[in-house]
């Protein structure tokens, strides 16, 4: 710990990031901390766990908590678990970032807003503002949404282009309590490398396999070993049916090869060393419908 952290006005606290699926919560957290600890994709329901992203500056430690998009469509055991993760995070935060997409506000957004406790400072973050051509139209939209709750601030941002993220961070800091840092100053997450490895493989499945692959696929790390600098990772992609297995493997294994290569490169970047990665695809049906199965795969 450096001396500056002993300063009396050092602040540290938890910042929940919530919103309906696909509004850019994980992209926002990664950009705020400057590292990719939470996976992202253009498909809804990418994030399935509570994931912490930590950033330490001279005068504050920001502990962001990325959450799954709140599910309102299907109600299986997985979705109930995901939603419980969101509600539990909300009650344990110093500040809440309520994220919506510029120009869009619907029932699913309102349902998340209804969950937010009245006594926690909440910032309305209007993401994907880069997509709005008519910038003047953003004002009335922001005012309409802002009227739905007593927000402490309204900040239009583009997580993708890093637009307004510094302003957002200064606003967040004003709501953090005066506390010494909880994590080390170089920590970027409280999740293990094994957990992050599984998430990286899952991201590549989401990205490389078309929309036809149901969201009920998951990844299990069967072995994670470190020898010096080298990490050896043995992963299994679990799918529901043989036809899904064929989709993941692709023609002559081409798709699985792409998944493996991209996952390995991301792991090497994040872990800062070489990675040996082997991936199998296994059929295991029904895991997302059953609470015991979910616990076995690390869902809280
Ligand atoms: N144009 C634009 N796209 C963005 C922005 N932020 C995120 N996206 C895209 O939106 C999609 C969803 O991003 P995620 O960060 O995975 O969204 P999420 O809210 O975490 O999604 P879930 O975890 O499924 O709830 C991805 O394709 C991102 O690249 C932004 O500021 N501008
Ligand atoms: Mg996400």
Ligand minimally distant from the alpha carbon of residue 99:
1
Ligand minimally distant from the alpha carbon of residue 30:
1
Give the whole-angstrom CA distance, residue 8 versus residue 159. 31
Within this chain, do residues 20 and 86 fall inside the same structural domain, yes or no?
yes
Task: Please indicate, yes or no, if residue 73 is contained in any of the structural domains.
Answer: yes
Task: Please indicate, yes or no, if residue 168 is contained in any of the structural domains.
Answer: yes
Task: Please indicate, yes or no, if residue 71 is contained in any of the structural domains.
Answer: yes
DSSP state, 253?
Answer: G
Tell me which residues of the chain have a pLDDT lower than 70. 1-7, 214, 287-294, 296-300
User: What pLDDT score was predicted for residue 299?
Assistant: 67
Within this chain, do residues 140 and 22 fall inside the same structural domain, yes or no?
yes
Within this chain, do residues 22 and 160 fall inside the same structural domain, yes or no?
yes
Q: What is Dmax (Cα atoms) for the chain?
A: 61
User: What pLDDT score was predicted for residue 292?
Assistant: 66
Within this chain, do residues 275 and 209 fall inside the same structural domain, yes or no?
yes
Within this chain, do residues 125 and 225 fall inside the same structural domain, yes or no?
no
Query: Which CATH number characterizes residue 124's domain?
Result: 3.40.50.300
Within this chain, do residues 157 and 218 fall inside the same structural domain, yes or no?
no
Ligand minimally distant from the alpha carbon of residue 70:
1
Within this chain, do residues 140 and 220 fall inside the same structural domain, yes or no?
no
Task: Kindly list the distances between the CA atom of residue 185 and the CA atoms of 181, 188, 280, in Å, as whole numbers in the listed order.
Answer: 8, 8, 37
Ligand minimally distant from the alpha carbon of residue 27:
1
276-289 tens-digit pLDDT: 999 999 998 776 66
User: What pLDDT score was predicted for residue 217?
Assistant: 84
Within this chain, do residues 7 and 85 fall inside the same structural domain, yes or no?
yes
105 labelled ligand-binding: no
Determine the residue of 16, 22, 79 to mutate for testing ligand 1's pocket, defined as the one with the most ligand atoms within 8 A of the Cβ atom: 22
Ligand 1 site residues, Cβ closer than 6 angstroms: 19, 21-27, 40-42, 44-47, 68-69, 127-128, 130-131, 158-160
Task: Please indicate, yes or no, if residue 11 is contained in any of the structural domains.
Answer: yes
Task: Please indicate, yes or no, if residue 270 is contained in any of the structural domains.
Answer: yes
- What's the half-sphere exposure (Cβ side, CA atoms, 13 Å) at 97? 34
Q: Which domain holds residue 243?
A: 193-296
Determine the residue of 18, 24, 85, 97 to mutate for testing ligand 1's pocket, defined as the one with the most ligand atoms within 8 A of the Cβ atom: 24
68 labelled ligand-binding: yes
205-263 tens-digit pLDDT: 999 997 777 677 889 999 999 999 999 999 999 998 899 999 999 999 999 999 999 99
User: What pLDDT score was predicted for residue 85?
Assistant: 87
Tally of domains in the chain: 2
User: What pLDDT score was predicted for residue 237?
Assistant: 95
Determine the residue of 40, 45, 205 to mutate for testing ligand 1's pocket, defined as the one with the most ligand atoms within 8 A of the Cβ atom: 40
Structure tokens of 227? 């020898």
Task: Please indicate, yes or no, if residue 181 is contained in any of the structural domains.
Answer: no
Within this chain, do residues 203 and 285 fall inside the same structural domain, yes or no?
yes
User: What pLDDT score was predicted for residue 80?
Assistant: 86
Within this chain, do residues 216 and 250 fall inside the same structural domain, yes or no?
yes
Task: Please indicate, yes or no, if residue 53 is contained in any of the structural domains.
Answer: yes
How far does the centroid of ligand 1 lie from the alpha carbon of residue 86, in Å? Answer: 17
Domain boundary residue, one of 140, 174, 208: 174
User: What pLDDT score was predicted for residue 192?
Assistant: 94
Within this chain, do residues 29 and 114 fall inside the same structural domain, yes or no?
yes
Within this chain, do residues 61 and 170 fall inside the same structural domain, yes or no?
yes
DSSP for 136-166, written as a single string: GGHHHHHHHHHTTS--SEEEE-BTTTTBTHH
Q: Looking at ligand 1, which residue's alpha carbon is closest to its atom 23?
A: 47
How far does the centroid of ligand 1 lie from the alpha carbon of residue 123, in Å? Answer: 18
24 labelled ligand-binding: yes
Query: Which CATH number characterizes residue 287's domain?
Result: 3.30.300.20
pTM: 0.92
Atom of ligand 1 nearest to the CA of 42: 27
User: What pLDDT score was predicted for residue 213?
Assistant: 74
Task: Please indicate, yes or no, if residue 187 is contained in any of the structural domains.
Answer: no
252 labelled ligand-binding: no
């Amino acid at each position: 710990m450096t001396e500056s952290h002993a300063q009396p006005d050092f602040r540290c606290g938890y910042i929940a990031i919530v919103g309906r699926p696909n509004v850019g919560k994980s992209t926002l957290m990664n950009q705020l901390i400057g590292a990719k600890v939470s996976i992202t994709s253009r498909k809804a329901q990418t994030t399935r766990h509570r994931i912490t992203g930590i950033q330490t500056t001279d005068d504050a430690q920001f502990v962001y908590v990325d959450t799954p998009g709140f599910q309102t469509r299907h109600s299986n055991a997985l979705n109930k678990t995901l939603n419980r993760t969101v509600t539990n995070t909300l009650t344990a935060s110093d500040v809440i970032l309520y994220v919506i997409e510029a120009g869009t506000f619907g029932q699913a957004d309102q349902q998340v807003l209804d969950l937010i406790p009245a006594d926690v400072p909440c910032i309305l973050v209007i993401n994907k503002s880069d997509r709005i051509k008519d910038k003047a139209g953003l004002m009335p939209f922001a005012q309409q949404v802002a009227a739905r709750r007593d927000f402490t601030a309204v900040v239009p941002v583009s997580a993708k282009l890093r637009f307004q993220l510094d302003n957002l961070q200064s606003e967040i800091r004003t709501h953090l309590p005066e506390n010494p840092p909880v994590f080390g100053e170089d920590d970027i997450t409280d999740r293990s490398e094994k957990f992050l490895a599984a998430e990286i493989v899952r991201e590549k499945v989401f990205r490389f396999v078309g929309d036809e692959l149901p969201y009920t696929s998951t990844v299990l790390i069967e072995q994670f070993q470190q020898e010096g600098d080298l990490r050896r990772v043995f992963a299994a992609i679990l799918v529901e049916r043989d036809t899904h297995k064929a989709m993941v493997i692709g023609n002559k294994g081409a798709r699985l090869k792409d998944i493996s290569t991209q996952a390995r490169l991301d792991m090497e970047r994040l872990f800062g060393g070489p990675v040996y990665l082997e991936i199998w695809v296994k059929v295991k049906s029904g895991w997302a419908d059953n609470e015991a199965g979910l616990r076995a795969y690390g869902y809280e």
